[in-house]
Amino acid sequence: MENFRTKAIAEMTKNERDYLRNELNEVDKKDINEQLELIKEQSEKQKARIDIIEKEHEKTQTEVENLKKNTNVICSPFHSKRKRNFNKLCKSRVWSLFNNDIDSCEYVLFSSFLFKKIYGDIATKFDLDSWHDLNMENYEQENSMYSQAKEFANYWTPSGWYIRHCIDSLIEKRDNGVLSSEKCRALTQYLKSTNNGEINPFAA
């Protein structure tokens, strides 16, 4: 077919017009397909960018939640006053077990144990690595971990098993000649007053 593209439409035959129309349609289809492919490609790139942004957001959110969780504990600077008060509460409880008497045989023998043990038992009670990890979320509420820990500390007493363990350790040191004379005298007095250590003087 001769080149008819320079002809006026009116001068074209029907076959020439149909041919030109089909050719234009093919060009339009090709252009449309190319545009659709471009849109699809851009859409996929945009979706990939959105996925990356969402993942970064989730990661950041998780980090923020972990940071909040890890910093909202009693040892954080924000809770320093409450930490001091909790310390005082624990020490006050231990002092009350000794009747605030530094000359008692119980104080001489057990003070170095109990002022540490109360904190260890608090950590064990709440399944923590350390009492420093006490969660302070909603600390003013009665059912918060902090409120429960204060309640626990208020009524804490060392177990009979633990006291027996301490006594056995002191007896071993005495028998090995490494127990101070002050503690030896206190141990003798204590064993006499507790039926050879069978009675836990701290039990309620």
| pLDDT digits 0-9 by tens, 31-83 | 766 766 777 788 788 888 888 888 887 887 776 666 666 679 999 988 999 99
Q: 105 in a domain, yes or no? A: yes
> Which residues are paired to 135 by β-bridges?
73
Same domain, 95 and 187: yes
Indicate if the pLDDT at residue 16 is higher than 80.
no
Same domain, 141 and 99: yes
pLDDT at 69: 66
pLDDT at 3: 54
Q: 98 in a domain, yes or no? A: yes
Same domain, 150 and 169: yes
Name residue, tokens 């909603």.
Answer: 138
Q: What is the mean pLDDT of residues 89-106?
A: 97
Same domain, 117 and 16: no
Backbone angles phi, psi at 191, to 5 degrees: -60, -35
Integer Rg of the chain from CA: 41
Q: Is the dihedral of CA 144, 150, 154, 158 positive or negative?
A: positive
Q: 3 in a domain, yes or no? A: no
Q: 2 in a domain, yes or no? A: no
Indicate if the pLDDT at residue 19 is higher than 90.
no
DSSP state of 200: -
| Alpha carbon 173 to its chain's center | 40
Question: Mean pLDDT of all residues in the chain?
Answer: 87
Give the whole-angstrom CA distance, residue 163 versus residue 196: 12
Q: What is the mean pLDDT of residues 84-92?
A: 98
pLDDT at 79: 92
Report the alpha-carbon angle 70-75-79, nearest 5. 100
Q: Which residues, in sequence order, are CB contacts of 102 under 8 Å at separation 6+?
A: 111
Same domain, 109 and 165: yes
Nearest to 97 by CA among 112, 107, 87, 89: 107
DSSP state of 72: S
Nearest to 142 by CA among 134, 133, 151: 151
Same domain, 152 and 110: yes
Indicate if the pLDDT at residue 98 is higher than 90.
yes
Q: How confident is the model at residue 1 (pLDDT cuts 50, 70, 90)?
A: very low
Same domain, 99 and 159: yes
Same domain, 28 and 122: no
Q: 4 in a domain, yes or no? A: no
Selected residue with higher pLDDT from 26 and 200: 200
Same domain, 16 and 111: no
Tokens of 16: 């020439």
Q: What is the mean pLDDT of residues 181-201?
A: 95
Q: 30 in a domain, yes or no? A: yes
pLDDT at 29: 65
Same domain, 84 and 66: no
Looking at 12-21, 122-131, 168-177, which range is the least confident one?
12-21
Number of domain units in the chain: 2
Domain assignment of residue 25, given as a range: 9-70
Tokens of 97: 């077990």
